[in-house]
Amino acid sequence: MGGCAKGFSSATELAELATLGVCVNLDVGDPHLAAALQPVARAAWARVADGGGPDELLHEARRARRRLRLAVGATTERRFLEAVIHHARAQRTGSSGRARKIARQGG
């Protein structure tokens, strides 16, 4: 899950990292952290499958961040979620900006 500060190269990379976070936390015996990340992984894979917008991913990442608010440790998971939130916000802004540009151009 390292390198998140640089962003994600693709929707697939984000989904794979989220899934890795779930698996690693299950392997080390921390089902609480795995359960917090699992909906993020599901939302990320849904984006890969249908190419939908970032809204569900953003919602799940924010929800996971709230679930981890009182968790001891979880630094890597929190950083990952912050990167996901930043990424989803940027995509949300970028897609709405393209829609406005098209509307202004009349096409």
Q: What's the pLDDT tens digit per position in 9-61? A: 999 999 999 999 999 999 999 999 999 999 999 999 999 999 888 999 999 99
| % of the chain beyond a pLDDT of 90 | 71
Is the CA virtual torsion 14, 17, 23, 24 positive or negative?
negative
In angstroms, the first-to-last Cα distance of the chain is 41
pLDDT: is 96 or 70 the higher one? 70
pTM, rounded to two decimals: 0.80
